[in-house]
Amino acid sequence: MAEGLFGGLFQQEEDRLETEATEQAEMGAEAFAAALAADHAKYDPEVARAAADFLRHQSHLLQVQAGYLQAEQPLRLSNLHNQSRESELRHVAQRIRLATQLLLTLFVTAIGIGLLVMIYDAFTARSVIVDPFDTPPALASGGLNGKVVAGGLLDELTRLQAVTQSTSEKRHLSNAWTGDIKVEVPETGVSIGDVDRILKARFGHELHINGDLVQTAAGGFALTVRGEGILPKTFAGATGDLGKLTTQAAEYIYGQSEPSLYAVYLASVGRNIDVIAFIKNAYATAGNDERPYLLNTWADAIGFTGGTPSQTVPLYREALRLKPDYWTAYNNLMNTDLVSGDEERAWRDGKAMVAAAGGRPGRAPEADYVNFDLVSWNLQAWRKASIADAEAHAGVGTSTAAVAPEIADVDVRLHDPTDAEFRLLTAQAAAGDPSIDAVRHFVHGRIAMEAGDVGRAAAEMEAFGAAYANPVVSYNYIGYNCWIAPAEEAAGHPDRADAVLKSAGHYVDCYRFRGDILDHRRDWAGAQRAYAAAVALAPDLPAGYYSWGLALARHGDLKDAEAKLAAASARGPHWADPLKAWGDVLAREGRWPEASAKYDQALKHAPAWQQLRQAVAARNR
């Protein structure tokens, strides 16, 4: 009935309510119905009653709903709280699961990387491993068990390696009973150390050394060593000779396992005759990677024992053929050029080395340019490379002679006596290297000469001359004996000066010092011929031009002096002496700005030179 009434009323009042219906569409259903019923109640009491009943019913429903909501609110809040806790726990569980997966991934990755490292180490392994030796129970009870004997052998091998001055890669030395990682692979009973050893045994190039120590019938000891690819060899001696037997056994193993390094070791301790004999026997069976090094050391040993360039040059050149980037052989080839008195060829071989190395600095180590720097007077580069070589190789460097005296020699050429003395102080005498004491005398003679103490200079140079008779010294310091002559002349020993120059050989220094001596004796024409001979002997080297320029300046021929000093500076651009002398000539001509520029250039190359500093100070006054 109510719906019929509502329909009729809508029909009668359609126009009036059209606007109100649009506005009421945004209201709630209950609010709209109540408002409509109240409006129609003004026209029909029955509608009003129906609307009132409807509203009371709706009000009751609302009350019931409110009661339900009040009763359900704690439950809903509790449920929401529980849902929040469940969500947090779910997030924590997810984080734990992710962390566990990440840790498991990292663990598996670490194991994989470890296995890869072990496999790589296995393929590249080339260690010498000393296994425990066999010893009789009687010796073992007295303390000479297998580990003690093997440990002594390992110690001696370590010493041999430490003495060896070489840039070649050295094998790692270890024993077979320390450093093992005692972690077993689950359910296998195999340790990681066992896996590592199996891989290296299968794929590596390790050399295992073992042997035995027994007592002979005569009461002495017999020490036998053997290894993979090494023929067993026994060394016998008295009971007190065990140390000697161990040294002999270690040298035998070192020579068999590392022939090139063993040859360098023999040379390092002055056993050059043994070097030649060893390499002659070892070369035929040596690998191709060993042969260039053996040839180089062989040639060095020949030179140290007084051999000729005709014997050494073919060996150096064959080493370079086998290994074109063998820079040390290049340097030694230049040294052989110097031995033969061909300094110009040494300079040219140095230029060839620079080209082969792709320029300088390039692929060749700076230390291997020592002979090239010597003839071209590139002193700071020589000094820097020698210091770096010493610092990188236990203070002694990789040369066949100790580096400290060599650095002192460079210092005295740089007019830095303070550092020269320091370098000599740190150069300790070593067995098999007589050059240390020899160069000490040479440097002290040079310092005394520059200080004007001609008596001491001559005495030191004479001592150097006596040491120079040793081929090891003369081969490492070629042409240095020429420097004895000026000291003898200055000390009033012209006969000794002449004798030195007569026997010293054909070197630029000998020729230019001959010019200085003849000029000192007032033989200017003879001096000029000597200077010209020095330049002709090595036209690409600066020293002959320099001495000639100084002599011309002494004679007042400043124009020609400047030309010779300019030529010297062009050929030795890193040498301070021609620059200073050139500056002195310019100063004498009154060309102070140009002289100042030369002094500044010279100071960059010889910052400790006191005379140069005095010249700079005089310019500034």
Least confident of 68-77, 224-233, 251-260, 272-281: 68-77
| 40: confidence class by pLDDT, cuts 50, 70, 90 | low
Among residues 542, 566, 540, 541, the alpha carbon closest in space to that of 553 is found at 566
Average the pLDDT over 227-238 and give the result. 89
Grade residue 345 by pLDDT with cuts at 50, 70 and 90.
very high
Copy the structure tokens of residue 330: 């290049």
The arithmetic mean of pLDDT across residues 385-392, rounded, is 87
DSSP 96-125: HHHHHHHHHHHHHHHHHHHHHHHHHHHHH-
CATH of segment(s) 535-621 = 1.25.40.10
Taking only the tens place, the pLDDT of each residue in 102-122 is 888 887 787 777 666 656 555
Please give the structure tokens belonging to residue 466: 């006596």
CA dihedral 178, 183, 185, 189 (to 10 degrees): 70
- CA–CA distance, 578 with 550 (Å, rounded to integer): 9
Tokens of 364: 């060749």
| pLDDT value for 33 | 54
**Whether pLDDT at 176 is above 50:** no
Q: What is the mean pLDDT of residues 403-431?
A: 88
Instruction: Indicate the pLDDT class of residue 472, thresholds 50, 70 and 90.
Output: confident
Helix (H, G, I), strand (E, B), or coil: what is residue 170?
Answer: coil
* Least confidently predicted of 29-38, 279-288, 562-571, 573-582: 29-38
Q: Lowest mean pLDDT of 2-6, 90-94, 216-220, 277-281, name the range.
A: 2-6
Q: What is the mean pLDDT of residues 321-346?
A: 94
**Bond preceding residue 314 cis, omega within 30 of 0:** no
Q: Which residues contact residue 494 at a Cβ distance below 8 angstroms, ignoring those fewer than 6 apart?
A: 488, 517, 521
Q: Give residues with Cβ within 8 angstroms of 124, minimum separation 6.
A: 204
Distance CA 127, CA 143 (A): 28
Distance, in Å, from the CA atom of 275 to the CA atom of 283, rounded to the nearest integer, reads: 12
Model pLDDT, residue 468: 95
DSSP string computed for 405-434:
HHHHHHHHHTT-HHHHHHHHHT---BTTBT
Higher pLDDT, 117 or 384: 384
Q: Which helix (H) or strand (E) holds 149?
A: helix 146-163
Q: What is the pLDDT of residues 183-217, one digit of tens each?
A: 333 444 555 555 555 555 555 557 788 899 998 88
pLDDT-derived band at 88, boundaries 50, 70, 90: confident
Is-above-0.75 flag for pTM?
Answer: no
Residue 481 has pLDDT above 90, yes or no: yes
Give mean pLDDT, residues 241-261.
90
A 10 A CB-CB count for 199 gives 18
Higher pLDDT, 195 or 17: 195
pLDDT interval class at 410 (50, 70, 90): very high
pLDDT bucket at 329, cuts 50 / 70 / 90 = very high
Q: 303 or 397: whose pLDDT is higher? A: 303
Q: What is the pLDDT of residue 558?
A: 97
Residue 326, SS3 per DSSP: coil
Radius of gyration of the chain (CA): 47
Enumerate the domain spans of the chain.
Answer: 2-100, 128-257, 377-505, 535-621
Strand partners, 184: 191
Residue 134 per-residue DSSP state: B
Reduced to 3 states, what is the DSSP secondary structure of residue 340? Answer: coil
Percent residues over pLDDT 90 in the chain: 52
Q: Could you tell me the fold of the domain covering 128-257?
A: Rossmann fold (3.40.50)
Query: Which of the pair, 141 or 366, is modelled with greater confidence?
Result: 366
pLDDT at position 368 is 92
Confidence of residue 366 (pLDDT cuts 50, 70, 90): very high
Residue given tokens 């580069």 in the structure block: 381
The pLDDT of residue 203 is: 53
Task: Please state the rounded mean pLDDT for residues 429-456.
Answer: 89
Q: pLDDT at position 382, please?
A: 96
pLDDT at 3: 46
pLDDT, average across residues 379-404 = 79
Q: What is the pLDDT of residue 187?
A: 46
Structure tokens at 280: 């002659």
The whole-number average pLDDT for the span 51-76 is: 72
Among 35, 15, 16, which residue's Cα sits nearest to residue 25?
Answer: 35
Mean pLDDT of the chain: 83
| pLDDT greater than 80 at residue 6 | no
Residue range 269-295: mean pLDDT, rounded = 93
Judged by DSSP in three states, 283 sits in helix
pLDDT, one tens digit per residue, over 143-156 is: 888 888 988 988 99
Stretch 405-428: mean pLDDT, rounded? 92
CA distance 546 to 568: 5
